[in-house]
């Protein structure tokens, strides 16, 4: 069963295919626009993530990694971190695994992001692969865990992304998708002021790039509500699906088993 925060915004959203940055009309254009945005902000990506989240993002990554300790503790486990960006979720998984040293791969379609992930991982056994999350270069049933932190929301086709994750997982394998939500109540009101006005302004000033930090709140508004995401996960073949809110529902973890 899903764990719901009763203070979350309950307004319904129309069904959407996936991310749709302003000015894009199809999935190919959407994917291209997202890649260009993340490539443009890559030099300041880590700094802005920590600054704009007040470092709470680090706590979220660690919490997700602890949840999957039962998989990470197995030396033979194969882990895929999807839409890995500069690798922070993969690093959290690696730290939680400790001496078990499962095989952890990070995948992203932004070369600039992966360059930074590679620079940060010197001396570690993590591997990075440049590929599209909707067309991954792996045979099916290869992984015990597929994670994604704040990247799944940017896919041009959410259902195709879930089907690809299910394809890659071994029977009994699990997925964990960490992404933003929309809290309700008084916290939600404060959050929306910050998210729609303060964050885009600060992000644009520090990154020197206009657009990506205005896209962020728009992409969260567009993303399916938890109950809709859980329905999509079930349709893609996942069982025991759940959603757990973090920090008043500002973020949350979608979890499912193949």
pLDDT exceeds 60 at position 5: no
Q: Specify the CATH number for the domain of residue 142.
A: 3.40.50.150
**216 Cβ contact partners less than 8 Å away, ≥ 6 residues apart:** 195, 199, 200, 203
Contacts of 142 (CB under 8 A, 6+ apart): 78, 80, 168, 170
Number of structural domains, the chain? Answer: 1
Per DSSP, the three-state class of 118 is helix
Strand pairing category for 169-180 and 143-149 = parallel
Which of 123-132, 161-170, 180-189 is least confident?
180-189
- Confirm whether 149 is domain-assigned: yes
How far is residue 59's CA from residue 50's CA, in Å, rounded to a whole number? 11
- Contact (Cβ atoms closer than 8 angstroms) between residue 195 and residue 217: yes
What is the rounded CA–CA span in Å between residue 44 and residue 145?
A: 29
Answer yes or no: is 17 within a domain. Answer: no
d(Cα 79, Cα 239) in Å, to the nearest integer?
19
Task: Tell me how far apart the alpha carbons of residues 171 and 244 are, in angstroms, rounded to a whole number.
Answer: 23
User: Is the residue at 210 inside a domain?
Assistant: yes
CA distance between the termini of the chain? 16
% of the chain with per-residue pLDDT over 90? 78
Beta bridge partner(s), residue 253 = 178, 244
User: Which tokens sit at 160?
Assistant: 């195709």
Whole-angstrom distance, CA of residue 145 vs CA of residue 250: 24
Residue at 171 is within a domain: yes
Report yes or no on 36 lying in a domain. Answer: yes
| Angle in degrees, 0-180, between the axes of helices 226-235 and 158-168, rounded to the nearest 10 | 50
Give residue-wise pLDDT tens across range 35-76. Answer: 999 999 998 889 888 888 889 999 999 999 999 999 999 999
Domain range holding 121? Answer: 27-257
Flag whether 99 is in a domain: yes
10 is a domain residue? no
If you average pLDDT over residues 225-248, what whole number do you get? 97
Q: Within a domain: residue 19?
A: no
Q: Which residues of 130-142 are buried (b: 16+ CB within 10 A; e: fewer)?
A: eeebbebebeeeb
pTM for the structure as a whole: 0.92
- Residue 6: predicted pLDDT: 38
Instruction: Work out the average pLDDT over 83-102.
Output: 97
Dihedrals φ, ψ of 174, to 5°? -125, 155
């Amino acid at each position: 069963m899903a764990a719901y925060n009763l203070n979350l915004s309950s307004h319904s959203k129309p069904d959407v295919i996936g991310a749709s940055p302003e000015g894009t009309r199809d999935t190919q254009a959407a994917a291209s626009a997202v890649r260009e945005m993340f490539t443009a902000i890559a030099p300041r990506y880590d700094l802005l993530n920590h600054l704009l989240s007040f470092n709470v993002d680090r706590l979220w990554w660690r919490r997700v990694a602890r949840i999957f300790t039962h998989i990470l503790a197995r030396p033979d486990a194969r882990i895929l971190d999807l839409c890995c960006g500069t690798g922070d979720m993969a690093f959290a998984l690696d730290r939680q695994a400790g001496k078990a040293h499962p095989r952890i791969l990070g995948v992203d379609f932004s070369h600039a992001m992966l360059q930074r992930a590679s620079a940060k991982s010197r001396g570690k056994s993590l591997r990075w692969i440049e590929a599209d999350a909707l067309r991954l270069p792996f045979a099916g049933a290869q992984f015990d865990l597929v994670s994604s932190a704040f990247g799944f929301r940017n896919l041009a086709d959410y259902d195709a992304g879930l089907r690809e994750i299910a394809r890659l997982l071994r029977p009994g394998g699990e997925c964990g998708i960490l992404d933003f939500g929309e809290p309700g109540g008084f916290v939600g009101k404060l959050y929306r002021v910050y998210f729609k006005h303060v964050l885009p302004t600060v992000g644009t000033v520090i990154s020197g790039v206009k657009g990506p930090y205005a896209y962020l709140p728009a992409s969260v508004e567009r993303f399916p509500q938890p109950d809709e995401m859980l329905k999509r996960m079930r349709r893609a073949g996942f069982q025991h699906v759940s959603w757990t809110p973090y920090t008043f529902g500002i973020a949350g973890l979608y979890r499912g088993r193949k």
